[in-house]
Amino acid sequence: MKGHALEEQTVFEEEQPVFEIGVVVPKRDEKQEIDNENCVDVLAAEFRKMGLIVERVVGLQNEILKLAAPLAILGKAAAELQLKKRTYIGVDLQFEWDEIDAFIRQPDGSLFSWHERLLCYHHMLYGTVNVDNSIMLKFDNKEVYWEMGESVLRKLELEGIVKEVFPLHDDVMRKQLLKIWALNWWDFTKQPIDEICSYYGMKIATYFAFLGMYTRWLLFPAAFGLILHLIDFGSLQLFVLPVFFVSLVMWAVLFFQFWKRKNSALLSRWQVNQAPGAGREHKAFDLEWSLFQYPSELMKKQGSDKIIEKEVYQREEWLRRFMRYRNDFVVILSIICLQLPFELAYAHLYEVVTSDLLKFGLTVVYLLAIQYFTRIGGKMAVDLVNREISNNIEYRADSLVYKVFGLYFMQSYVGLFYHTLLHRNIMTLRQVLIQRLIFSEVLENLLENSIPYLKYSFKKYRAVRTKRKGERGSFAGKFPRVEKEYLKPAYSASISEELEDGLFDDFLELALQFGMIMMFACAFPLAFTFATLNNITEIRTDALKLLVMLRRPIPRHDATIGAWLNIFQFLIVMSICTNCVLLVCLYDREGKWNISPGLAAILLMEHALLLIKFLFSHIVPEEPAWVRANRMKNATHAQDMCSRELLRTISGGQKTFKELVKNE
Amino acid sequence: MKGHALEEQTVFEEEQPVFEIGVVVPKRDEKQEIDNENCVDVLAAEFRKMGLIVERVVGLQNEILKLAAPLAILGKAAAELQLKKRTYIGVDLQFEWDEIDAFIRQPDGSLFSWHERLLCYHHMLYGTVNVDNSIMLKFDNKEVYWEMGESVLRKLELEGIVKEVFPLHDDVMRKQLLKIWALNWWDFTKQPIDEICSYYGMKIATYFAFLGMYTRWLLFPAAFGLILHLIDFGSLQLFVLPVFFVSLVMWAVLFFQFWKRKNSALLSRWQVNQAPGAGREHKAFDLEWSLFQYPSELMKKQGSDKIIEKEVYQREEWLRRFMRYRNDFVVILSIICLQLPFELAYAHLYEVVTSDLLKFGLTVVYLLAIQYFTRIGGKMAVDLVNREISNNIEYRADSLVYKVFGLYFMQSYVGLFYHTLLHRNIMTLRQVLIQRLIFSEVLENLLENSIPYLKYSFKKYRAVRTKRKGERGSFAGKFPRVEKEYLKPAYSASISEELEDGLFDDFLELALQFGMIMMFACAFPLAFTFATLNNITEIRTDALKLLVMLRRPIPRHDATIGAWLNIFQFLIVMSICTNCVLLVCLYDREGKWNISPGLAAILLMEHALLLIKFLFSHIVPEEPAWVRANRMKNATHAQDMCSRELLRTISGGQKTFKELVKNE
């Protein structure tokens, strides 16, 4: 392992650089004379001065600077960033180039993870400031003054000369992943999680680990559901459904417990110093370059040596909470007052209308309307989240997830609840379930993959056409791969590109599917089989999408499924209640189990109170903010103080260990 | 504060030593000649050699060696023990006498807490080994050989010469506490928590903090209940009870959330490095001297440098879990199969029997029987807990609490449930509730306090009588206070003296009361007023019991209410369900809300599943044992390595800070 790692490193440093960042500038007008102060030249020179390897690729419309960094340069940037890395004694310490032997390498043998490399690149690219006098830069006919202390890249971005900075695919790795992952149809749930993690970062690897484990576990209820569907149990039929339901609940609860265990194991393997569910403060989340949070900056913010005053913290904590509850209240109120009546109206109309044509028309209108409403709702949610006072981006993403999921939850299930509760019409429910499942399986998977592809093809086509028009026949057909990559769409969420990436859509799809099959399990046990088939293809299509259709996404330093875990847990509890209602409807065909309004009111109150019991526990945080702040301060303080001494000790120990191995 | 602390310290060291430990040996037979090798003399000499201050008090039957330790001696012992203490930068580091300024002092100004002092005493007393040849010790006519490498105190304990080693009350502090706490009747819920903590240790202080806060919060439902009882709401009466119930549930949930916050704040104030609910590994629990766990020993156990193997840990983890579940299964099964029928039989007979005399007789027989059964059940539980493989004593105590609470839960509430569910007889229920509340308030408080007092008085009387008999008229009346203290009973649990101390009984009383008033709130809202009155007196009687009736208890290093918090939470959920049933009974006088068996079965299944959902979450631990072990190893490893360097830095900083203050 170690030898292999060293080998790889040498390859990386000497033979052929792996270009990881692309900087896109417009193609220079060839008619202009070549100028000394052309800003692209200056930019490339600055990058080279820093030690980066620069390759300039001229495409059809754009010129792209491909950047690669030797390990030593990355190490220098990491030390400047005061990046904390796991050492061999298991503690996270500030990185220092001289003590490189003290730090644990990634599973693939490289020193820095993809996320850390990007942090370093970002630091280098935006850290090139002008130390001398103001320099005049030219681009075509534009003149830009690069003032003292300004970042050249930032300046050119503001002037619109640098169109975009984006991470590049690594073709060797990508092809390997295609072979062993996306196109590996044989072992249908096994995935190379470590390779995914080192290529895409921890968050995406966690998603695929979850998807794989979920699919494997789904096989049990899928088989059970299939048996229920195929075999007639005769007089036992009455008891089979409750047994199915009870074993299903146990299955779901156990699955999520074992998932938490697996997630812990993954965190430990990826050397993340964090228990799942514990405070997630020190995290850098970086969907946009501008949203980058450096660990060291975070530290500085929290480690400031002012005395932590109890009263100030208390006041600020409650103010924040109040704002958050007000927002949540607005969201819940608007969902109940605006969305619920709309959904109910549609469900009612669908039942009332008899003509098939009218039904079809109604559904089309409804589908268009919800597209529109979802967009508005999503925007509202993003607005509300942005108004919350919180520096923690991961927390904001979670908050958005909860709010938007509320919207989708209503949209997806209210109609189904309506059929179940008011009409006791199991057959219609089954029909709707089958429709939706097939719709989601076939259509969504198709759309998900074809839309980015179509977008990309259109852009490509337009680029070629523009080029042809401009050059009139002298088209050379030179369309470099990196420019094609630039035209590919990014991995972004349909709801908001600001706060979440494409994982939002993927998790949403999973959660909605899970809710659908769990909450109406007793009405349609076969759903699990559909879901299993869907997920097996989902693994492949998602992998293909990431590898082929999209740009390489910006990695997130977060290795849990976050808010989605709570949503899945909530869906389990909901499914217990809805399945009970379903069973009542199924077994009470003669309507003898007459539920009087009084009894219904008390049962409703009971369930509402149980819900309140578990929700209220989250309203008041267990640990006051000042206690937490004190704790964090202590922890960082101690680490900062002892890191230097410690580092030298470990590094020394590691070196002697290596020498011992060599001598043997 | 600081000046005061230094003053106190000087007083402590120079003027009059505070004797904190008593070693009891039988009184020497005065007729025997005085011998050089008398083992009590040797013991005292050994203690003096160590630097302890020894005062020998001869009482009626026993001689008691009172021991006090100057601060420097304690510090030496603490350094030998590798005790971890909180430093000014907020990190726990190994204590070293030279760097004394780096460590934070207790709120009362002393360097070591009572728990730490006891750890040091224990280390010193049992650490006096013979380094030379075997020495013959004599006591009366007995001869004991003190071999090389043996602890003299342990040896004498085994020989029965040292009867007991117990912590002594500090009379100054005790009188002060009596004045400001137990006999302070004016501000009825305010207690000097910091003083209690420094005198009794954190666990007992936490109990009183909880009791005080609970009583203060109880005032709200008590007032609400009183209003409900006194005012007739006319036609609104139907809605008042549900409103009361809903607000009660919210009150209870909020109370426990705020308690968790308060507990966090207390932990932070007492410098305990631990989030409530987080892993509670590093704790020394010490009801018996022999059960003492030294932090350093724990560290050694966990910090051992062997590679943590995933498979071994996994296997051992599941084996332990399996053992635990088997035990839990046995407990639950025996409660359901043995206790439940018995309780139901009693409840049924009580309803069936008409004659008052027979009822009375039945109750007497029942009360005697449950005394016996509880004892057997407790023994079984202790046996089972002892068989579980676990080194963590605090975990074992929690395990015992759950098991024994199951027993008491059945005992206390099954009869009440019977009245509620089968007979729908609210009036009988109310009667029983009033009986039980008054019984628990008056009788239990009386018994709790009088039994220890009677025991103590009887022992005292017997001691004096024996003395009189022996000396025939020449009785000098010399009965030293410290010998009286030796005769006082210890603060031990009624169920098992092995694993828990008296806090078990006190918490059990609170939990049973909470369950009673919450679960049947709708039947008898006035119960809250009773409970409030009870708790106000409970604070005083418990304080008096601890200060006057009992020996000073051995402190426990644990500052949460532990398993009881989960029990209270469980009671809240139970209360939601039972109150709903009560409301159905109350409002459905005509029996129109006919619940058919089918509906009842499905509702039961729903509740069982919801219970399973939340119980199952605890069956599979979120974090695999090997991940946790790795984490713990890393944490201790790092601390051990950097502690020395760090300590010097902090200590230096603190000194310069003090000098600066002095110069100003």
Average pLDDT over residues A548-562: 82
Q: B584 to chain A: which residues are within 8 Å by CB? A: 598-599, 602
DSSP-assigned letter for residue A439: I
From the list B89, B598, B622, the residue facing A260 with the nearest CB is B622
* A213 min Cα distance to partner chain B (Å): 16
Which among B53, B28, B22, B52 is positioned nearest to B40, based on CA atoms? B28
Average pLDDT over residues B371-397: 78
Question: Which residues contact residue B598 at a Cβ distance below 8 angstroms, ignoring those fewer than 6 apart?
Answer: A584, A587, A588, A593
Q: Could A264 and B624 be called an inter-chain contact, meaning their C-beta atoms sit closer than 8 Å?
A: yes
Beta-bridge partners for A66: A22, A55
pLDDT > 90 in chain B, percent: 6
- Is residue B389 pLDDT above 70, yes or no? no
Residue B370: CB atoms within 10 Å = 19
For residues B644 and A217, the model is more confident at A217
Give the global pTM. Answer: 0.81
Q: Return d(Cα A527, Cα A531) in angstroms, integer.
A: 6
Cross-sheet strand order for the sheet of A53-58: A53-58, A62-68, A21-26, A164-167
Q: Which of A109-113, A348-352, A494-498, B407-411 has the lowest mean pLDDT?
A: A494-498
| B 515-574 near A (Cβ less than 8 A) | 572-573
Average pLDDT over residues B453-466: 83
pLDDT tens digits, B476-515: 556 788 888 888 888 877 776 666 678 888 898 899 999 9
Q: What H or E segment, with its residue span, contains residue B85?
A: strand B84-86
Q: What H or E segment, with its residue span, contains residue B143?
A: strand B142-146
Q: Is A129 helix (H, G, I), strand (E, B) or coil?
A: strand
* A267 min Cα distance to partner chain B (Å): 9
Average pLDDT over residues B460-476: 68
Residue A34's pLDDT band (boundaries 50, 70, 90)? low
Q: What is the pLDDT of residue B224?
A: 93
Q: What is the pLDDT of residue A496?
A: 67
Q: What is the pLDDT of residue A215?
A: 93
A77-86, A448-457, A540-549, B629-638: range with highest mean pLDDT: A540-549
From the list A572, A595, A610, the residue facing B576 with the nearest CB is A610
For residues A649 and B212, the model is more confident at B212
pLDDT tens digits, A274-305: 543 333 333 333 334 433 434 344 444 444 44
- Is residue B31 pLDDT above 80, yes or no? no
Q: Which of A603-612, A651-660, B529-538 has the lowest mean pLDDT?
A: A651-660
| B 191-250 near A (Cβ less than 8 A) | 242, 246, 249-250
| Mutation for testing the B interface, residue in A89, A245, A602 having most B CBs under 10 Å | A602
Question: How many CA within 13 A on the CB side of residue B68?
Answer: 15
Closest residue on chain B to A238 (Cα) = B598
Using the Cβ of B460 and the Cβ atoms of chain A, whether some distance falls under 8 Å is answered with no
Residue B457's pLDDT band (boundaries 50, 70, 90)? confident
The DSSP-derived string for B506-571 is: HHHHHHHHHHHHHHTTTT-TTHHHHHHHHHHHHHHHHHHIIIIISPPPPP-S--S-THHHHHHHHH
From the list A254, A621, A634, the residue facing B90 with the nearest CB is A634
Q: What is the pLDDT of residue A271?
A: 73
User: CA distances (Å), B13 to each of B4, B17, B71, B73, B110, in order?
Assistant: 14, 7, 7, 11, 12
Q: What is the pLDDT of residue A212?
A: 93
| A 600-619 near B (Cβ less than 8 A) | 602-603, 605-606, 609-610, 612-613, 616-617, 619
Q: B602 to chain A: which residues are within 8 Å by CB? A: 580, 583-584, 587
Q: B264 to chain A: which residues are within 8 Å by CB? A: 622-624, 627
* Cα–Cα–Cα angle for A157, A163, A164, rounded to 5 degrees: 90
A11-20, B31-40, B335-344: range with highest mean pLDDT: B335-344
| A 311-340 near B (Cβ less than 8 A) | none
From the list A257, A610, A631, the residue facing B616 with the nearest CB is A257
Q: Work out the mean pLDDT of chain A and round it to a whole number.
A: 77
3-class SS shares of chain B: helix, strand, coil, % to 5: 65, 5, 25
A259-268, A394-403, B458-467: range with highest mean pLDDT: A259-268
Residue B226's pLDDT band (boundaries 50, 70, 90)? very high
Q: B617 to chain A: which residues are within 8 Å by CB? A: 253, 257
- Is residue A546 pLDDT above 50, yes or no? yes
* A243 min Cα distance to partner chain B (Å): 11
Q: Could B637 and A599 be called an inter-chain contact, meaning their C-beta atoms sit closer than 8 Å?
A: no
| B 252-271 near A (Cβ less than 8 A) | 253-254, 257-258, 260-261, 264-265, 267-268
pLDDT tens digits, B317-335: 788 888 888 888 888 888 8
Q: Work out the mean pLDDT of chain B and round it to a whole number.
A: 77
Q: What is the pLDDT of residue B291?
A: 37
Residue B281's pLDDT band (boundaries 50, 70, 90)? very low
Which among A296, A272, A281 is positioned nearest to A640, based on CA atoms? A296
Q: Could B606 and A576 be called an inter-chain contact, meaning their C-beta atoms sit closer than 8 Å?
A: yes
Residue with tokens 């193609």: A27
Average pLDDT over residues B35-53: 80
Residue with tokens 């919450």: B518
| B 343-362 near A (Cβ less than 8 A) | none
Q: B577 to chain A: which residues are within 8 Å by CB? A: 606
* B377 min Cα distance to partner chain A (Å): 31
- Is residue B473 pLDDT above 60, yes or no? no
For residues B194 and A237, the model is more confident at B194
Q: Could A616 and B250 be called an inter-chain contact, meaning their C-beta atoms sit closer than 8 Å?
A: yes
In the 3-class helix/strand/coil scheme, how is B310-329 assigned residue by residue? HHHHHHHHHHHHHHHHHHHH
- Is residue B207 pLDDT above 90, yes or no? yes
For residues B335 and A7, the model is more confident at B335
β strands within B598-663, DSSP E: none
- Is residue B112 pLDDT above 80, yes or no? yes
Q: Could B634 and A573 be called an inter-chain contact, meaning their C-beta atoms sit closer than 8 Å?
A: no
- Interface contacts (A, B; CB < 8 Å): 187
Q: A273 to chain B: which residues are within 8 Å by CB? A: 631
Residue B284's pLDDT band (boundaries 50, 70, 90)? very low
In the 3-class helix/strand/coil scheme, how is A53-72 assigned residue by residue? EEEEEECCCEEEEEEECCHH
Q: Could B598 and A587 be called an inter-chain contact, meaning their C-beta atoms sit closer than 8 Å?
A: yes
pLDDT tens digits, A203-248: 899 999 999 999 999 999 999 999 988 988 878 877 888 889 989 9
Closest residue on chain A to B605 (Cα) = A580
Q: What is the pLDDT of residue A90?
A: 65
Using the Cβ of B584 and the Cβ atoms of chain A, whether some distance falls under 8 Å is answered with yes
Q: Return d(Cα A62, Cα A424) in angstroms, integer.
A: 62
Q: A249 to chain B: which residues are within 8 Å by CB? A: 609, 612-613
Q: A622 to chain B: which residues are within 8 Å by CB? A: 257, 260-261, 264, 275-277
A57-85 CB burial, b ≥16 within 10 A, e <16 = bebbbbbbbbbbbebebbbbbbbebbbbb
Using the Cβ of B53 and the Cβ atoms of chain A, whether some distance falls under 8 Å is answered with no
Q: What is the pLDDT of residue A278?
A: 37
* B592 min Cα distance to partner chain A (Å): 8
Closest residue on chain B to A267 (Cα) = B627
The DSSP-derived string for B442-476 is: IIIHHHHHHHHHHHHHHHHHHHHHHHHHHHTT---
* A590 min Cα distance to partner chain B (Å): 12
pLDDT tens digits, B425-438: 777 788 878 877 87
* B650 min Cα distance to partner chain A (Å): 10
Q: Could B613 and A649 be called an inter-chain contact, meaning their C-beta atoms sit closer than 8 Å?
A: no
Q: What is the pLDDT of residue B275?
A: 42
- Is residue A474 pLDDT above 50, yes or no? no
| Mutation for testing the B interface, residue in A605, A614, A657 having most B CBs under 10 Å | A605
